[in-house]
Structure 1
Amino acid sequence: MFDRSYREKVGGRSFVIPIINGRKTYVSEPWMSEVLERLLALKSGAFIDVGVNLGQTLLKVAAIDPDRTYVGFEPNPACVDYAWKLIQKNGLKFTVVPAGITDRTTLLHLEMFREDDTDPSASIVPAFRSNVVASRSVMVVDPEQLPEGTLPEEVAVVKIDVEGGELFVLRGLLPLLRRARPFLVVEVLPPSAPDRVERQVELERHLAELDYRLFRIRRDDREQLQTIDPIETLGIQTDLLSCDYVFAPAELAASLRN
């Protein structure tokens, strides 16, 4: 298929958006841009993007601060191929590692739920959804086993969007979270089965042990940011417009409130 590209503005900056074998990234979720801009203004250090997909967040970071160190992790090879080309086309000095993050280095099955090899709803959690249409073996890594220097010592923000695998990512990142104390921007989909509830409970336990504070991101149906509200617990809720969170180290929670 003929590959081509076009230009689109993200946060006031113009980027080349390649179309490769019919794949392209979409500029969406303006609420995320505003959240990231606020957080990156509060803390110096790298941006770690767990779940790059087609580079939606990658472009937001590049629009806010193109000189910020960016390290992304993505297990789906089709997405990695696109993200690498997106970086190249825009002359960015960003890094995408072709692997996911968990607390162990191994091969897992990435289950897909759409007839699309870059399916953003794909998950490494077995039977996370019932309508699996395909699966492929992908690499996941324990960050402590990465080559030295892959992850910077100073980290400002970690974004985690992994369709149910948040707990496994958090476990893998525990040493980094203790050392660097970054903000976390995490999607936690509403728990609807006992195993999902158990993972959410353990996720909250780890955050409490790390002395992190919980904030819910509220947005409207036009994807505009409304508020970032402190909460005591994630709770059991079903509103898909309220399943994104900021987890802030206690020492930075007051600055986020302000």
Structure 2
Amino acid sequence: MLKLSEPAINLTKQEFINLAYETYHKNLFEYSKILSGTGISEIIIKSGEVWATCEDTGIKFKCSEGDKRIAPIEAINFSGYETSLTQVLFNYASSSRTFVDVGANIGWYSLNLAQKFPTLKVYSYEPIKHTYDILIDNIVNASLENVQVQNCGCSDEHRRDRFYFSPTGSGNASKALLDNPNDSIIVDVQLVKLDDEIWFKENPIDLIKIDVEGAEKFVIEGALKLIKRDRPVLVVELLRKWSIQFGYHPQQVVDMLKKLKYLAFAIGEDRNYEIDEINDDTQETNFLFVPCEKLINCD
């Protein structure tokens, strides 16, 4: 921030006021003009911190400086954050007892669902310590008591692993170097199998969201016992360009769940529709898997 007392600034007081306003303060009012229709109702500036409030639930999310694709900024950039996916999760969470969020990031889904449905038990998994710490800050700030958080990821076995993490794109943290940003660092993470998690021995799972940047198949393989036991609804991100780096095609996930008598739906911007195949013509990247006996209106 410019300061009038800095020796490098040879300005009159009025010149400094004009420069400071044009450089910094004017932007505050610019933000007030663009928030409408984004799903973000307010931006809160504190000493050293910026928070954004979700319009629908009132939950406040701490924004990490430099993270260009954190959920609130994505919402401002694109007039809402994954609105179709959010609606699907809200629809199914309304009749769910337990929601498991694998790849929770800063908690956009975990916290919004926990706030909207107070009786819902939410279990969140986030392996990156930096992101996990922000998630904890968000939960504490919201005073939510129905969210349990694990600082680990999920896979098909218990193990330590190494992930690539970029502070400018925390949502792309993965075992594979997906976007190859120059600022990626390697961090050690803990991975667990959902089948072995003690939380779920006596807590049936009704709804699972999986978004782990290409490794979704392995999360499902590590949860097959729970899936067969509880028959939860699954919401899964499947990108061909990510999964290929893990040695599989998204169709393998569709086929695996089809054998368990799940129906697959592509989550589109305007509608959701049943699919049998994910191929090169498939535009959607988020998919809903519903056991036949739990099918409700997917449109």
Normalised TM-score (structure 1): 0.82
- Secondary structure at the counterpart of residue 75 of structure 1: coil
More deviation, 64-73/76-85: 64-73
Unaligned runs of 5+ in 2: 1-45, 76-80
Tell me: CA distance 1:197–1:191, structure 2 relative to 1, closer, same or farther (3 Å). Answer: farther
Task: Give the equivalent residue in structure 2 for 1:53.
Answer: 105
Structure 2 counterpart of 1:256, one-letter code: N
Q: 1:3-14 maps to which residues of 2 (within 5 A)? A: 3-4=48-49, 6=51, 8-11=53-56, 13-14=57-58
**% same residue:** 23
Normalised TM-score (structure 2): 0.72
Q: How many residues align?
A: 243
Tell me: CA distance 1:9–1:178, structure 2 relative to 1, closer, same or farther (3 Å). Answer: same
Question: 2: distance between equivalents of 1:193 and 1:206?
Answer: 15
More deviation, 59-68/133-142: 59-68
Question: 1: distance between equivalents of 2:226 and 2:86?
Answer: 24
State whether structure 2 residue 77 is matched by structure 1 residue 35.
no
Q: 1:151-170 maps to which residues of 2 (within 5 A)? A: 153-170=203-220
Check conservation: 1:191, 1:197, Cα contact below 8 A. Answer: no
- Secondary structure at the counterpart of residue 297 of structure 2: helix
Task: Give the equivalent residue in structure 1 for 2:142.
Answer: 90
RMSD value over aligned CA atoms?
2.7
Max radius of gyration: which structure?
A: 2
State whether structure 2 residue 174 is matched by structure 1 residue 123.
yes
Question: 2: distance between equivalents of 1:193 and 1:257?
Answer: 26
Check conservation: 2:124, 2:149, Cα contact below 8 A. Answer: yes
More deviation, 166-175/64-73: 64-73
Structure with greater strand share of residues: 1
Check conservation: 2:162, 2:186, Cα contact below 8 A. Answer: yes
State whether structure 2 residue 296 is matched by structure 1 residue 246.
no
Structure with larger RCO (C-alpha < 8 A, sep 6+): 1
Tell me: CA distance 1:192–1:7, structure 2 relative to 1, closer, same or farther (3 Å). Answer: closer
Q: 1:1-258 maps to which residues of 2 (within 5 A)? A: 2-4=47-49, 6=51, 8-11=53-56, 13-19=57-63, 26=72, 28-41=81-94, 43-93=95-145, 94-112=147-165, 114-116=166-168, 119-124=170-175, 126-131=176-181, 133-146=184-197, 148-149=198-199, 153-191=203-241, 198-219=248-269, 226-237=270-281, 239=283, 242-253=284-295, 255-257=296-298
Unaligned runs of 5+ in 1: 220-225
Tell me: CA distance 1:191–1:256, structure 2 relative to 1, closer, same or farther (3 Å). Answer: farther
